[in-house]
A and B are shown apart, each in its own frame.
Chain A
């Protein structure tokens, strides 16, 4: 006979195909095993329960030995079932337990990073499981001051969110503000941007509050740099808060090289950043608005290379820049087997056919190639994307005002970036002050 509680749970999950209620006879009393077949490995879990039952005399002792979470109310049982736990209810319904079962393996194991490629560094990357991810941090950062706060956020589903920081390093005021904000989350957090929007309105801004990294080493470095690291369940990234401009240029892996080499790497990233922002704009400004800036030989060379091209410099540049951005996006979307074909076709069309057809000038193709390469030199995919976006306003200003427009556009870009803050921490700051450190 099924008791009231079991019936209640059953009715709750009546339209779930993979829901099960198994009856089991232990010490002449019946117990009910409740859970989802897709989440719980039933055969193994049954065996496990029986093994423990054999060494226990009563059902009560069994429940105590199985788990410390016993005799909870129905609501918690339902939650336990949804989280993939095995719920055991005694025949009379008076005793119950939420048991951590032997689970179906739904996770991939620790693999190499997909979006970053560290050189001379550990190649472990974060996976989907939040506990594994935090475990990876704990394993590499064995200190008692590493603090870990759990949150469950969301409206439709409760999603696990973890906040990690190092006590005594990360400013207390910052932790308090973030803690208050996370506790107040009402909406679902489906994407990283949903979480990003919680830290302040930046709907029109390309710069996120969070810096996503796949590498445990870089996450640990951020913790040591007095930052906060978030983990979202089923999200294979450590989300570093706050995101600073410096993160785009400096990676902890650089320091595996001698300091002069790491300086060189960072210097090239700065060049890449600046080149991406102003190179197309500079081309337009010099070719169409201020050719007098050119040295004489260069002016003649540029004039010659553009001879017979029907498009104006601005149209030509914007067409090429958009086309290149399209190709970059298309290569990401395509299956790996088709990608090289598109790369080749794109390369031939852009590099050769357009020049031979005299649609764009040789020089522009060189400029565009330089920009594409330069934009990928910064760290982090989202950073590379946003500097690719920021080049467009400068390009438009350059087509209107020439060199002056390039300067104004560049200065305004810097002013804009300098105006960004996350909880009063400027985006352009080099490092965050330690707890208790005086300015």
Chain B
């Protein structure tokens, strides 16, 4: 190695030192790491940002709630950053709670989702939820509960399918995608603060292009997940005379287009375990009753959805090969209301 190249190497190394920006690096303990971001609007029309920040030093208090207001979300976030003791690092935000009065305004909600998606710091995989309560109350309620820790709110949504199949988590990017989708709409979970537990799951709001169309109960949400072919294990259903647990489910959809009228045949196979039953109740009765209940529930939801032109099941996805792309843009208004679904449930005992 010549003397010259050694100088070059040294020069390159000095450049690394000068250009890397390493003086801006903050250690993890010098950062404030908010976990939940709440968005609401004050009466004066300003955005109000609420952050739930875990407290690491204090044993009694698990988290603190910080608020900031501003004309835009960015300015509110910036204000919190200015007034914070440490550098605020938004990259660990896992849940975004939007208050209902913002969520029910299509334009506002669309803007919020677009902002969250465009923001480099806030991860797009963070979950989104809507609350009817005051956002601040939801976030601060965590300190009153016994035995919870800072990440409890996030853990609520990550119990895993087998443990609580109704709880539905929707990341920001899926909501953003649904803004542009013409064949599939999305459900956003609805939460409020609980009495003894941190959160209570109230169901889901159904969004069509950022507009809330309907509200579904937890057991109805269950069915949507089944139809989206997400395996639903562990769901417990009470039939009055018996209660069963779904141990496995699978669905097969077959679309067809006759005279420009869409129709879909769908076979749902469910495997169940009987957990308890009254005396004299036969297996056959349980199966028939369950089939009846599910079919009834499905057609009820479908009717409601077709009335509001909202394709929450994503049936339009099945017709992508049958209807041209330009035509498919009008799926919700032209085809979907006429959709005939031949829904059959087959229940098996394990």
Using a CB–CB distance below 8 Å, which chain A residues touch chain B? 204, 286-289, 291-292, 294, 296-297, 299-300, 302-304, 306-309, 312-313, 399-401
Contacts and interface: CB of A to CB of B under 8 A. Distances in A.
B151 A291 contact: no
Interface string B40-75: 000000000000001011000000000000000000
B288 to A, nearest CB: 46
B33 interface: yes
B26 A296 contact: no
A307 B56 contact: yes
Interface stretch (B87-95, B184-192, B292-300): B87-95
B159 to A, nearest CB: 14
B1 A204 contact: yes
A292 B89 contact: yes
A309 B29 contact: yes
Contacts of A292: 89, 91-92, 123
Interface string B19-30: 010100111110
Contacts of A399: 22, 25
A307 B94 contact: no
B54 A306 contact: no
A299 B28 CA distance: 8
Contacts of B89: 291-292
A306 B16 CA distance: 28
A307 B29 contact: yes
B28 A288 contact: yes
A355 B174 CA distance: 44
A303 B91 CA distance: 14
A294 B1 CA distance: 41
B33 A300 contact: yes
Given A304-B56, A313-B27, 4 more contacts: A204-B1, A300-B150, A302-B28, A400-B16
Nearest to B26: A288
A309 to B, nearest CB: 7
A299 to B, nearest CB: 6
Given A291-B89, A292-B92, A401-B20, A299 B25 contact: no
Contacts of A288: 25-28
A299 B57 CA distance: 15
A308 B35 CA distance: 21
7 contacts: A204-B1, A289-B25, A296-B92, A299-B33, A303-B31, A303-B33, A307-B57
> Which has the most chain A C-beta neighbours within 10 Å: B25, B89, B123?
B25
B154 interface: yes
Nearest to A401: B20
Interface of B: 1, 16-17, 20, 22, 25-29, 31, 33, 35, 54, 56-57, 89, 91-92, 94, 123, 150-151, 154
Contacts of B1: 204
A302 B29 CA distance: 8
B142 to A, nearest CB: 14
Contacts of A291: 28, 31, 33, 89, 91-92
Interface of B is mostly: loop
A365 to B, nearest CB: 16
Interface of A is mostly: helix
B10 to A, nearest CB: 14
Give 3 nearest A-B pairs by CB, closest first. A292-B91, A306-B29, A400-B20
Nearest to B13: A396
B94 A296 contact: yes
Nearest to A402: B25
B28 A303 contact: yes
B154 A296 contact: yes
Nearest to B24: A289
A289 B94 CA distance: 19
Nearest to B35: A296
Contacts of A307: 29, 56-57
Contacts of B26: 288
B154 A287 contact: no
A289 B20 CA distance: 12
Nearest to A285: B25
Given A204-B1, A291-B92, A303 B151 contact: no
A293 to B, nearest CB: 9
A297 B16 contact: no
Given A204-B1, A292-B89, A300 B56 contact: yes
Nearest to A291: B28
Given A303-B28, A307-B29, A312-B27, A297 B92 contact: no
Nearest to A287: B28
A307 B35 CA distance: 18
Contacts of A289: 25
B54 A300 contact: yes
Contacts of A286: 28
Nearest to A299: B92
Contacts of B92: 291-292, 294, 296, 299
B22 to A, nearest CB: 5
Nearest to B158: A296
A251 to B, nearest CB: 34
Contacts of B17: 400
Nearest to A302: B28
Nearest to B121: A292
A158 to B, nearest CB: 33
